[in-house]
Amino acid sequence: MTTRNQAVGAYGERCALRHLIGAGLRPVTRNWRCPAGEIDIIAWDGPVLAFCEVKTRRGGAFGSPAEAVVPAKARRLRGLAARWLAQTGTTADEIRFDVLSVRLADAGPAHVEHLKGAF
């Protein structure tokens, strides 16, 4: 991944985090990593623990950012969530997996779409 792509991804995650906070979610952690991968954002939405994947795109050439979350990625994120829950001892009556699609504009603010329970 190039430095430019990393910067775009980091900016998209900051936009997504602001969006989640504005929507009333309470962040638990960002960029949790283990040898199997990374979870972008984990946040409480009331009593529901949301594991959030953030996808950022500069243009529409590669489709919607959410389309990048293919079934294999969803399976990996489920496994990472189970690992995080076990490692931290956190319990939740309900968990869900969200995707935040961030589209960067040529000018002005980014557009964030929050797909709750995306998979």
Domains defined for the chain, CATH in brackets: 3-115 (3.40.1350.10)
pLDDT in tens, 6-60: 899 999 999 999 999 999 999 999 999 999 999 999 999 999 999 999 999 887 6
Q: How far apart are CA 19 and CA 29, in angstroms?
A: 15
| Residue 27 token pair | 């962040």
Q: Other C-beta atoms within 10 Å of 84: how many?
A: 18
Q: How far apart are CA 93 and CA 38, in angstroms?
A: 23
